[in-house]
Structure 1
Amino acid sequence: MKLVVITAGLTQPSSTRLLADRLAEAAGQRLHGAAGTTVIELRELAVDIANNFVTGFANARLREALAAVEEADGLIAVTPVFTASYSGLFKSFFDVVDNTALAGKPVLIAATGGTPRHSLALEHALRPLFAYLRAVVAPTAVYAASEDWGGGGDAFTDGLSERISRAAAELADLMLRRAPGQAGGEQQDVTTGQTDGAPSGQGREFDEVIPFEQQLAALRP
């Protein structure tokens, strides 16, 4: 399986990249090393993305990033919050991604910002964006404010660490559900080697993850 991490941090080092790395690490642990991880730093593609808008053509480096997204079995998408929304660089990249590339693909959304007041950007900006792209967005979104960086350095508070673990578990479960079918049409759980056809009580069972859009529709009159 392939896990692709997209980070839109502009500085180096970047708290956005650090959060992305922690999410990827947690998801990798849940997948027991069954997924290779590719990190796409959008700051390195900023000029390429702008040139694509002007010329209508993606250069080799941007094409490689777009191909990685299309071939991924799961995505982690992390952006800094600017003006109560995702960054322009983050949105520009997904503007050049083919609008069918994310259909049915599991995505974990996350963001960083200076204050907890911007955490709702995940729900009013990022989640609708990926819903429009027909991705399957993990129920738990992760937001890291300045105060969530506990003892300095790369230490997280317990609350943020718990959210990272829960979101990573949801993404891993969604990815495992989409694992390529094995011989005979069975689907293998890469963490146990058991298949969907195993007798009851054998292999790993996952709690059902209901997409946010379906939950929202159920609430409407």
Structure 2
Amino acid sequence: MSQVDDATGLGRLEPKSLVQLAADAVRKKILAGDLEPGERLIEERLTKELGISRPPLREALRLLQQEGLVVNQPRRGSTVVELTSEDVYEILTLRSGLERMAVELGVPVQDPARLEVCRQALARMRACAQAEDRGGLVEAGYAFHASIVALAGHGRLSAMYNSLYQQLLLCMARNLYVRERFYEDLETHVDRHQELLDVVERGDPKAVLEALAAHGERSFSSM
């Protein structure tokens, strides 16, 4: 939330609350794979790790429950949400369909500013990989794919894609965890996205669709 500064008339940003900071920290642990799907979130351990008391942690977990990253189960308390194989299939096939539609509508790219958004998202991915910030890399990876969809300049298409935000983050987080463990390092993960952007920039829709299909196939094989 922002307030208006009386002297300048400009909006000034309020600092994040302890609850928001705690939610950010736990979210990053989930996306980085430090907290695995189905894992119980033990309050005593998290309060020590984050240096906070239980009340703000519980509020943070409630926020993450609203986001769909955490579930509260009777007699177990809060746990990291666990997607079924059917969930993953539905989420990734829907993502694939939306991205293919975006490519059919948006490639060759008519507005260079849209490509610049893709490049900036990829640069954030590269910076996160170099810093070994896996949670940040997952979020930047989502931003990259969303920027590919935005190439179409189709507001409703982008809105539908963005409605999958939290579900896609969970799939992308699991994909990154498995691929890093068995197939590729973080830099190679980013390189694959660079290759996809290179094909987009060449402006051949058929080649982009083929590259997207190969890219998506790797995601399915890792889940």
TM-score band by shorter chain is under 0.3
Greater CA radius of gyration, 1 or 2? 2
TM-score (norm 2): 0.26
TM-score (norm 1): 0.26
> Which has the larger helix fraction?
2
